[in-house]
Amino acid sequence: MKQSVMSKKSRILIYIIFIVLIFIGLLVFFLLKSQTGNDKNTVSENKKLQVVTTLFPLYDFAKNIGQDKVQVTLLLPPGVEAHSFEPKPSDVLLINKADIFIYTGKFMEPWAEDIIKSITNKNLVVVNASNGINLISAVFNNPDEPAGSIDPHIWLDFDNDKMIVNSIAAAFVKKDPENKSFYEKNAKEYNLQLTDLDKDYKSALSLCKSKEIIYAGHYAFGYLAKRYGLKYLTAQGVSPDAEPTANDLINLVNQIKKDNIKYIFYEELASPKIAETLSKETGAKLILLNAAHNISKEQLEKGITFISIMKSNLENLKIGLEYKQ
Protein backbone atom coordinates (compact mmCIF):
# COMPACT_ATOMS: atom_id res chain seq x y z
CA MET A 1 0.00 0.00 0.00
CA LYS A 2 2.76 2.41 1.02
CA GLN A 3 4.73 1.52 -2.09
CA SER A 4 1.66 2.25 -4.20
CA VAL A 5 1.21 5.70 -2.57
CA MET A 6 4.90 6.50 -2.92
CA SER A 7 4.85 5.38 -6.51
CA LYS A 8 1.86 7.60 -7.18
CA LYS A 9 3.54 10.59 -5.49
CA SER A 10 6.72 9.97 -7.48
CA ARG A 11 4.78 9.95 -10.71
CA ILE A 12 3.04 13.22 -9.80
CA LEU A 13 6.39 14.82 -8.87
CA ILE A 14 7.97 13.67 -12.09
CA TYR A 15 4.97 14.99 -14.01
CA ILE A 16 5.22 18.38 -12.29
CA ILE A 17 8.95 18.57 -12.96
CA PHE A 18 8.30 17.66 -16.57
CA ILE A 19 5.68 20.41 -16.92
CA VAL A 20 8.00 22.97 -15.27
CA LEU A 21 10.85 22.00 -17.59
CA ILE A 22 8.59 22.39 -20.63
CA PHE A 23 7.46 25.78 -19.35
CA ILE A 24 11.06 26.90 -18.75
CA GLY A 25 12.05 25.61 -22.19
CA LEU A 26 9.24 27.50 -23.87
CA LEU A 27 10.08 30.64 -21.91
CA VAL A 28 13.75 30.42 -22.91
CA PHE A 29 12.76 29.76 -26.53
CA PHE A 30 10.53 32.82 -26.77
CA LEU A 31 13.06 35.01 -24.98
CA LEU A 32 15.79 33.93 -27.39
CA LYS A 33 13.52 34.41 -30.37
CA SER A 34 12.61 37.87 -29.18
CA GLN A 35 16.26 38.75 -28.62
CA THR A 36 17.21 37.38 -32.05
CA GLY A 37 14.50 39.48 -33.64
CA ASN A 38 15.77 42.56 -31.87
CA ASP A 39 19.31 41.76 -33.00
CA LYS A 40 18.13 41.40 -36.60
CA ASN A 41 16.38 44.72 -36.42
CA THR A 42 19.48 46.34 -35.01
CA VAL A 43 21.66 44.89 -37.76
CA SER A 44 19.15 45.99 -40.38
CA GLU A 45 19.00 49.50 -38.98
CA ASN A 46 22.77 49.85 -38.63
CA LYS A 47 23.86 48.18 -41.86
CA LYS A 48 25.06 50.67 -44.45
CA LEU A 49 24.71 50.22 -48.19
CA GLN A 50 28.07 49.16 -49.61
CA VAL A 51 28.76 51.33 -52.64
CA VAL A 52 31.76 51.08 -54.99
CA THR A 53 32.49 53.92 -57.43
CA THR A 54 35.16 54.23 -60.09
CA LEU A 55 35.93 57.95 -60.29
CA PHE A 56 36.06 60.75 -57.74
CA PRO A 57 32.97 62.70 -58.93
CA LEU A 58 30.81 59.58 -58.56
CA TYR A 59 32.34 58.91 -55.14
CA ASP A 60 31.55 62.43 -53.96
CA PHE A 61 28.02 62.42 -55.38
CA ALA A 62 27.26 59.09 -53.67
CA LYS A 63 28.60 60.33 -50.32
CA ASN A 64 26.47 63.47 -50.47
CA ILE A 65 23.30 61.55 -51.35
CA GLY A 66 23.76 58.62 -48.95
CA GLN A 67 25.58 60.37 -46.09
CA ASP A 68 25.56 58.17 -42.94
CA LYS A 69 23.46 55.43 -44.55
CA VAL A 70 26.11 54.36 -47.04
CA GLN A 71 29.72 53.23 -47.07
CA VAL A 72 31.28 54.52 -50.29
CA THR A 73 34.57 53.18 -51.67
CA LEU A 74 36.59 54.86 -54.40
CA LEU A 75 38.05 52.13 -56.59
CA LEU A 76 40.83 54.37 -57.93
CA PRO A 77 43.72 54.55 -55.45
CA PRO A 78 44.44 58.20 -54.53
CA GLY A 79 46.80 59.87 -56.96
CA VAL A 80 46.36 57.30 -59.76
CA GLU A 81 45.53 58.65 -63.22
CA ALA A 82 42.08 57.40 -64.18
CA HIS A 83 42.69 56.56 -67.85
CA SER A 84 45.58 54.21 -67.09
CA PHE A 85 43.84 52.37 -64.22
CA GLU A 86 43.46 48.61 -64.48
CA PRO A 87 41.45 46.82 -61.75
CA LYS A 88 43.13 44.11 -59.67
CA PRO A 89 41.46 40.82 -58.63
CA SER A 90 40.84 42.37 -55.21
CA ASP A 91 38.90 45.19 -56.91
CA VAL A 92 36.70 42.66 -58.68
CA LEU A 93 36.00 40.94 -55.35
CA LEU A 94 35.15 44.30 -53.81
CA ILE A 95 32.61 45.01 -56.55
CA ASN A 96 31.16 41.52 -56.23
CA LYS A 97 30.51 42.06 -52.50
CA ALA A 98 28.95 45.50 -52.95
CA ASP A 99 25.28 46.46 -52.97
CA ILE A 100 25.79 49.07 -55.69
CA PHE A 101 28.49 49.63 -58.33
CA ILE A 102 28.67 53.00 -60.11
CA TYR A 103 30.77 53.78 -63.19
CA THR A 104 30.67 56.48 -65.88
CA GLY A 105 30.38 54.21 -68.94
CA LYS A 106 32.28 52.03 -71.38
CA PHE A 107 34.18 54.94 -72.95
CA MET A 108 35.82 55.95 -69.67
CA GLU A 109 36.09 52.53 -68.02
CA PRO A 110 36.30 49.99 -70.89
CA TRP A 111 37.12 47.23 -68.38
CA ALA A 112 33.94 47.69 -66.33
CA GLU A 113 31.50 45.82 -68.54
CA ASP A 114 33.64 42.66 -68.58
CA ILE A 115 33.71 42.74 -64.78
CA ILE A 116 29.95 43.26 -64.60
CA LYS A 117 29.41 40.19 -66.81
CA SER A 118 31.56 38.07 -64.48
CA ILE A 119 29.87 39.16 -61.23
CA THR A 120 28.16 36.35 -59.31
CA ASN A 121 26.32 38.68 -56.92
CA LYS A 122 22.85 38.68 -58.48
CA ASN A 123 21.67 41.39 -56.07
CA LEU A 124 24.27 43.92 -57.21
CA VAL A 125 22.70 47.11 -58.59
CA VAL A 126 24.82 48.56 -61.40
CA VAL A 127 24.61 52.25 -62.29
CA ASN A 128 25.99 53.30 -65.68
CA ALA A 129 26.13 57.05 -65.08
CA SER A 130 26.17 57.85 -68.80
CA ASN A 131 22.69 56.40 -69.38
CA GLY A 132 20.37 59.11 -70.68
CA ILE A 133 23.18 61.62 -71.19
CA ASN A 134 23.82 63.21 -74.58
CA LEU A 135 27.39 62.13 -75.30
CA ILE A 136 29.47 64.48 -77.43
CA SER A 137 32.33 63.83 -79.82
CA ALA A 138 35.87 64.77 -78.91
CA VAL A 139 38.52 66.36 -81.10
CA PHE A 140 41.60 64.17 -80.92
CA ASN A 141 45.19 64.76 -81.95
CA ASN A 142 46.39 61.18 -81.65
CA PRO A 143 46.33 59.08 -84.86
CA ASP A 144 44.93 56.05 -82.99
CA GLU A 145 41.98 58.09 -81.72
CA PRO A 146 39.81 58.96 -84.73
CA ALA A 147 37.88 62.22 -84.94
CA GLY A 148 34.28 61.81 -83.85
CA SER A 149 35.12 59.44 -80.99
CA ILE A 150 33.17 59.94 -77.78
CA ASP A 151 34.35 62.31 -75.06
CA PRO A 152 33.92 60.31 -71.81
CA HIS A 153 34.29 63.24 -69.37
CA ILE A 154 30.54 63.60 -68.84
CA TRP A 155 30.82 65.03 -65.31
CA LEU A 156 32.23 68.33 -66.64
CA ASP A 157 28.75 69.50 -67.60
CA PHE A 158 26.71 70.32 -64.49
CA ASP A 159 23.41 69.34 -66.13
CA ASN A 160 24.91 65.89 -66.72
CA ASP A 161 25.87 65.80 -63.05
CA LYS A 162 22.25 66.37 -62.05
CA MET A 163 21.21 63.36 -64.11
CA ILE A 164 23.98 61.28 -62.54
CA VAL A 165 22.92 62.35 -59.04
CA ASN A 166 19.33 61.32 -59.78
CA SER A 167 20.49 57.94 -61.12
CA ILE A 168 22.53 57.31 -57.97
CA ALA A 169 19.61 58.32 -55.72
CA ALA A 170 17.30 55.95 -57.63
CA ALA A 171 19.75 53.07 -57.06
CA PHE A 172 19.88 53.85 -53.33
CA VAL A 173 16.08 53.87 -53.17
CA LYS A 174 15.94 50.54 -54.99
CA LYS A 175 18.22 48.91 -52.42
CA ASP A 176 16.86 50.80 -49.40
CA PRO A 177 13.25 51.90 -50.08
CA GLU A 178 12.59 52.68 -46.41
CA ASN A 179 14.89 55.72 -46.72
CA LYS A 180 13.50 56.92 -50.06
CA SER A 181 12.65 60.43 -48.86
CA PHE A 182 16.11 60.82 -47.26
CA TYR A 183 17.98 60.02 -50.48
CA GLU A 184 15.69 62.07 -52.69
CA LYS A 185 15.92 65.09 -50.38
CA ASN A 186 19.73 64.94 -50.39
CA ALA A 187 19.83 64.55 -54.17
CA LYS A 188 17.55 67.56 -54.62
CA GLU A 189 19.68 69.69 -52.29
CA TYR A 190 22.89 68.69 -54.07
CA ASN A 191 21.38 69.47 -57.46
CA LEU A 192 20.55 72.95 -56.20
CA GLN A 193 24.25 73.41 -55.44
CA LEU A 194 25.05 72.35 -59.00
CA THR A 195 22.51 74.84 -60.33
CA ASP A 196 24.16 77.64 -58.34
CA LEU A 197 27.58 76.55 -59.59
CA ASP A 198 26.36 76.58 -63.19
CA LYS A 199 25.00 80.12 -62.73
CA ASP A 200 28.36 81.25 -61.35
CA TYR A 201 30.18 79.80 -64.37
CA LYS A 202 27.80 81.38 -66.87
CA SER A 203 28.01 84.77 -65.20
CA ALA A 204 31.79 84.83 -64.77
CA LEU A 205 32.78 83.33 -68.13
CA SER A 206 30.49 85.70 -70.00
CA LEU A 207 32.57 88.56 -68.59
CA CYS A 208 35.97 87.13 -69.58
CA LYS A 209 37.97 88.91 -72.27
CA SER A 210 39.29 85.65 -73.75
CA LYS A 211 37.12 82.69 -74.77
CA GLU A 212 39.99 80.36 -75.60
CA ILE A 213 41.35 77.59 -73.37
CA ILE A 214 44.79 76.25 -74.27
CA TYR A 215 45.10 73.01 -72.31
CA ALA A 216 48.51 71.35 -72.12
CA GLY A 217 46.98 68.02 -71.20
CA HIS A 218 44.61 65.41 -72.60
CA TYR A 219 41.21 66.22 -74.07
CA ALA A 220 39.04 66.49 -70.93
CA PHE A 221 37.04 69.74 -70.99
CA GLY A 222 34.97 69.33 -74.13
CA TYR A 223 31.66 69.33 -72.23
CA LEU A 224 32.56 72.43 -70.23
CA ALA A 225 33.79 74.29 -73.31
CA LYS A 226 30.63 73.45 -75.25
CA ARG A 227 28.32 74.47 -72.40
CA TYR A 228 29.89 77.90 -71.96
CA GLY A 229 30.77 78.68 -75.58
CA LEU A 230 34.55 78.44 -75.22
CA LYS A 231 37.17 77.53 -77.78
CA TYR A 232 39.21 74.58 -76.52
CA LEU A 233 42.60 73.41 -77.82
CA THR A 234 44.64 70.58 -76.27
CA ALA A 235 48.11 69.17 -76.66
CA GLN A 236 46.94 65.54 -76.41
CA GLY A 237 43.98 63.35 -77.24
CA VAL A 238 41.82 61.56 -74.71
CA SER A 239 44.69 59.49 -73.34
CA PRO A 240 47.19 61.30 -71.07
CA ASP A 241 49.81 58.71 -72.03
CA ALA A 242 49.81 59.74 -75.69
CA GLU A 243 52.63 62.08 -76.62
CA PRO A 244 51.82 65.01 -78.92
CA THR A 245 53.80 65.18 -82.15
CA ALA A 246 56.30 67.94 -82.84
CA ASN A 247 53.81 69.34 -85.35
CA ASP A 248 51.09 69.44 -82.65
CA LEU A 249 53.34 71.47 -80.37
CA ILE A 250 54.39 73.83 -83.16
CA ASN A 251 50.74 74.48 -84.02
CA LEU A 252 49.91 75.19 -80.39
CA VAL A 253 52.86 77.54 -79.98
CA ASN A 254 51.81 79.43 -83.09
CA GLN A 255 48.20 79.62 -81.87
CA ILE A 256 49.27 80.93 -78.46
CA LYS A 257 51.42 83.63 -80.03
CA LYS A 258 48.83 84.53 -82.66
CA ASP A 259 46.01 84.96 -80.12
CA ASN A 260 48.27 86.56 -77.50
CA ILE A 261 47.35 83.90 -74.94
CA LYS A 262 48.68 84.82 -71.51
CA TYR A 263 47.93 81.58 -69.62
CA ILE A 264 48.29 77.89 -70.40
CA PHE A 265 46.27 75.45 -68.32
CA TYR A 266 47.81 72.20 -67.10
CA GLU A 267 46.13 69.11 -65.67
CA GLU A 268 46.11 67.35 -62.31
CA LEU A 269 47.98 64.11 -61.55
CA ALA A 270 50.05 64.27 -64.73
CA SER A 271 53.51 65.48 -65.68
CA PRO A 272 53.49 69.20 -66.57
CA LYS A 273 56.39 68.86 -69.00
CA ILE A 274 54.27 69.69 -72.07
CA ALA A 275 52.84 72.76 -70.33
CA GLU A 276 56.34 73.80 -69.28
CA THR A 277 57.59 73.42 -72.86
CA LEU A 278 54.76 75.56 -74.23
CA SER A 279 55.31 78.15 -71.51
CA LYS A 280 59.04 78.33 -72.26
CA GLU A 281 58.37 78.80 -75.98
CA THR A 282 55.64 81.43 -75.60
CA GLY A 283 56.16 83.16 -72.27
CA ALA A 284 52.61 82.25 -71.17
CA LYS A 285 52.12 81.50 -67.49
CA LEU A 286 50.87 78.16 -66.13
CA ILE A 287 47.67 77.63 -64.19
CA LEU A 288 45.84 74.47 -63.05
CA LEU A 289 42.55 73.27 -64.53
CA ASN A 290 41.45 70.15 -62.66
CA ALA A 291 39.19 67.64 -64.44
CA ALA A 292 38.56 65.87 -61.09
CA HIS A 293 38.96 62.30 -62.34
CA ASN A 294 40.76 61.51 -59.11
CA ILE A 295 42.40 63.26 -56.17
CA SER A 296 45.59 62.86 -54.16
CA LYS A 297 45.79 61.08 -50.82
CA GLU A 298 46.30 64.42 -49.09
CA GLN A 299 43.19 65.88 -50.74
CA LEU A 300 41.16 62.82 -49.79
CA GLU A 301 42.24 63.16 -46.16
CA LYS A 302 41.35 66.86 -46.18
CA GLY A 303 37.85 66.07 -47.46
CA ILE A 304 38.07 67.98 -50.74
CA THR A 305 34.82 67.90 -52.73
CA PHE A 306 33.85 67.93 -56.39
CA ILE A 307 32.15 71.29 -55.96
CA SER A 308 35.19 72.82 -54.26
CA ILE A 309 37.37 71.63 -57.15
CA MET A 310 34.97 73.17 -59.66
CA LYS A 311 34.92 76.45 -57.72
CA SER A 312 38.74 76.54 -57.76
CA ASN A 313 38.62 75.85 -61.50
CA LEU A 314 36.33 78.83 -62.01
CA GLU A 315 38.69 81.12 -60.13
CA ASN A 316 41.57 79.90 -62.30
CA LEU A 317 39.51 80.28 -65.47
CA LYS A 318 38.75 83.87 -64.47
CA ILE A 319 42.49 84.51 -64.21
CA GLY A 320 43.44 82.61 -67.35
CA LEU A 321 40.65 84.06 -69.49
CA GLU A 322 41.05 87.59 -68.12
CA TYR A 323 37.85 88.20 -66.19
CA LYS A 324 36.61 91.79 -66.49
CA GLN A 325 34.92 93.00 -63.31
Domain positions in the chain: 1-46, 49-198, 201-320
Domains 49-198 and 201-320 share a fold: yes
SS3 232: strand
Q: Report the candidate in 156, 209, 193, 199 with the shortest Cα–Cα distance to residue 318.
A: 209
What is the tens place of the pLDDT at every residue in 111-120?
999 999 999 9
Query: What are the pLDDT digits (tens) for 144-192?
Result: 555 567 899 999 999 999 999 999 999 999 999 999 999 999 999 999 9
Lowest-pLDDT choice from 16-25, 261-270, 283-292, 301-310: 16-25
d(CA 254, CA 210): 17
Neighbours of 321 (CB within 10 A): 22
Return the H-helix or E-strand segment holding 53.
strand 49-53
Mean pLDDT score of the chain: 86
Place domain 49-198 in its CATH homologous superfamily: Nitrogenase molybdenum iron protein domain (3.40.50.1980)
- Using alpha carbons, select from 115, 114, 128, 136 the residue that is nearest to residue 55: 128
Q: Do residues 133 and 139 make contact, with C-beta atoms less than 8 angstroms apart?
A: no
Q: Determine whether domain 201-320 maps to CATH 3.40.50.1980.
A: yes
Q: Where are the alpha helices (DSSP H) in the chain?
A: 2-46, 56-66, 89-97, 112-118, 158-175, 180-206, 222-227, 246-258, 273-282, 297-302, 306-320
Torsion of CA 161, 162, 165, 170, to 10 degrees: -140
Rg of the chain on CA atoms, in Å:
30
147 vs 204 pLDDT, higher one? 204
Q: Among residues 174, 178, 166, which one has the least CA distance to residue 65? A: 166
